[in-house]
Structure 1
Amino acid sequence: MFSPFGEAIFTFVPIFIGGVAIIIFGGIIFIAVKSIGTWNSNNNSPKLTVPAEVVTKRTKTSGGSGDSSASTWYYATFQVDSGDRMELAVNGSQYGMLADGDVGMLTFQGTRFSGFERVNNG
C-alpha cells in the first residue's frame, strides 16, 4: 500500500530534529557567551566601597520536586546615597547576616557583591 506521507516523513523528521538541535546548542552557546561577557565586565570594573542601606532581601528557589534537590539563590537590594538601587547576588551566610534597614559600607565590583560592613550607629 502506497502512502504519500510515508516518504515525506523520512525527509521532515531529520530536518526537524536537526533544527531542534541547532536551537538547543545555539541557546547553550548564547548563555555561555553572555556569562563570559558578564564575568569579563565585572573583572574590568573598579572595586568600589560606598555607603549604602539594605533595602530588601529575596530568595529564588527552583527544583525540589520528586527526588530532585532544590536550589536557592539569595539576593539583596542596596540603596546608595545617590538614591540608586542595585540588586546583588549574595551567598547564604551573607544573606543571613543582612537585615532590612542595615546601614554600612557596600563593596562591589560591577554586578559582583564583595562585602557589606555594617556601621555601628550606637
Structure 2
Amino acid sequence: MFYAGFDMLFSILFPILFLVVLGMILYTIIGNISTWNKNNHSPRLTVPATVVAKRTDVSHSSSANAGDMSGAHGYDTSTFTSYYVTFQVESGDRMEFEVDGSDYGLLVQGDIGKLSFQGTRYLGFERS
C-alpha cells in the first residue's frame, strides 16, 4: 500500500519538478541571450570616470569523487572568483562592471581616466 502511494506521488511530482527546473533553465538562457543582444545593439561609449570601488565574489562548488554521492572517496572542490569595479562618471552616476582578473589587479580606487563600455559590457579603462 505504501509503495503504491509513493509511486503515485512520484508520478505526479516528478513531471512537475522537471517542468519547474526546465522553466528555470530556459528563463536563465533567454535572459542571458536578451542581455547579450541588448549589449550588442547599444552604442560603444567612452566617458571620463573615476574608479570608486572594487569587490570580488568567490563561489565554491564541491562534487563527490568517483560518482559516489556519499563522499566516501572524497570530494573535488572548485573555486571561481568574479571581479567587479565601480566607476563614477561626471554626472555622479555610478556603474559597476564585471572585469577580468588582470584588469581588476591593475585598477586602483581613485584612478581617473576614460571608461569604455557597451551597455553592461566593460570594454576597458585608460588612465589619464
TM-score, normalised on structure 2?
Answer: 0.86
- C-alpha change, 1:13 and 1:64, in structure 2 (3 Å) is closer
Size of the alignment, in residue pairs?
116
1:112 corresponds to 2:109: no
Q: Aligned partner of 1:90: which letter?
A: V
- Unaligned 5+ runs, structure 2: 63-74
User: In the alignment, is residue 21 of structure 1 matched against residue 57 of structure 2?
Assistant: no
In the TM superposition, 1:11-50 aligns within 5 A as: 11-50=8-47
Q: Give the distance between the partners of 2:61 and 2:20, measured in 1 at CA.
A: 27
Identity of aligned residues (%): 50
Deviation at 1:7, TM superposition (A): 3.2
What is aligned with 2:92?
83
- How far is 1:64 from its partner? 5.4
Match of 1:10 among 7, 10, 27: 7
- Post-superposition shift, 1:15? 1.1
Q: Cα RMSD over matched residues?
A: 1.3
For 1:73, the equivalent position in structure 2 comes to 82
Secondary structure in structure 2 of the residue aligned to 1:11? helix
Per-residue Cα deviation, 1:3-32 (whole angstroms, up to 9, x for no partner): 3x5433322211111111111111000000
Q: Which structure has the highest strand share of the two?
A: 2
Q: Once the two structures are superposed, what CA deviation does each residue of 1:25-78 show, in whole Å capped at 9, x if it has no partner?
A: 110000000000000000000000000000000000001555222000000000
Q: Which runs of 5+ in 1 are unaligned?
A: none
TM-score scaled by structure 1?
A: 0.90
TM superposition outliers: structure 1 runs of 4+ over 4 Å: none
